[in-house]
Every structure is written in structure tokens, then in C-alpha cells.
């Protein structure tokens, strides 16, 4: 089980890259907008493979070319290193 994130400095680059803290939750959120549905779904597929390897799965939704992502570690009761890693990898996949 992942431990809750105590050193919050790892969040700073993510917040600078467009991630935001979720009101009322210890969670990060970001909305990714792609050129079209195929690009959005392709990104979700690649991100899903990363999430599966990490055994850490996002809360997300997709409408046409927009994907809204929320990351938190339910077992830890908030953000963990897994969320930081998955956010970094999602950003890299979106580049």
C-alpha cells in the first residue's frame, strides 16, 4: 500500500504544468484537450497501460476530445507518490 504524500514539494512542478488541487479532497485534477476524439482516446489507452503497470488507476472521463483526470490514492487517504508518478507520465504522453 502506498503511503500518503508528506513532502508536497513534488507537487510544485505539476501545479506549474496545469494540474490543480481538487476542492475538498486531497487530489489533483487536470483537463487534457486533444485535436479530436481519436487522439484523446489514443492518449487514454497509452495512459491506461502506464496506470496498469503502476497498479494505480485514475478517475477520468472523456467527452469527444477532452479528458478530465483526477488522481488520488484511495488506500492512502489522499495523494501519494503514485499520483505524482502517474501525473508526470500522463503529461509526458500528452506532449
CATH number of the domain at 47, please: 3.30.1360.20
Tell me if 93 sits within 8 A of 43, measured CB to CB.
yes
Domain assignment present for residue 78? The answer is yes
Q: Is 56 left (phi over 0), alpha (psi -120 to 50) or beta?
A: beta
Q: How many domains does the chain have?
A: 1
Tell me if 73 sits within 8 A of 4, measured CB to CB.
yes
Domain assignment present for residue 1? The answer is no
- The structure's pTM equals 0.96
> Tens digit of pLDDT per residue, the chain (95 long)?
799 999 999 999 999 999 999 999 999 999 999 999 999 999 999 999 999 999 999 999 999 999 999 999 999 999 999 999 999 999 999 99
Query: Which residue range is the domain that position 22 belongs to?
Result: 8-94
Domain assignment present for residue 52? The answer is yes
Domain assignment present for residue 64? The answer is yes
Domain assignment present for residue 2? The answer is no
Distance from C-alpha of 9 to C-alpha of 67, rounded to nearest angstrom: 26
Domain assignment present for residue 3? The answer is no
* Per-residue model confidence (pLDDT) at position 51: 98
Amino acid at each position: 500500500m502506498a503511503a500518503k504524500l508528506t513532502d508536497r514539494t513534488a507537487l510544485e512542478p505539476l501545479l506549474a504544468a496545469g494540474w490543480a488541487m481538487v476542492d475538498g479532497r486531497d487530489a489533483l485534477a487536470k483537463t487534457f484537450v486533444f485535436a479530436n476524439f481519436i487522439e484523446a482516446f489514443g492518449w487514454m489507452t497509452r495512459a491506461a497501460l502506464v496506470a496498469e503497470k503502476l497498479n494505480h488507476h485514475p478517475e477520468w472521463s472523456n467527452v469527444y476530445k477532452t479528458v478530465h483526470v483526477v488522481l488520488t490514492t484511495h488506500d492512502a487517504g489522499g495523494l501519494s507518490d503514485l499520483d505524482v508518478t502517474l501525473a508526470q507520465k500522463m503529461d509526458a504522453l500528452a506532449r
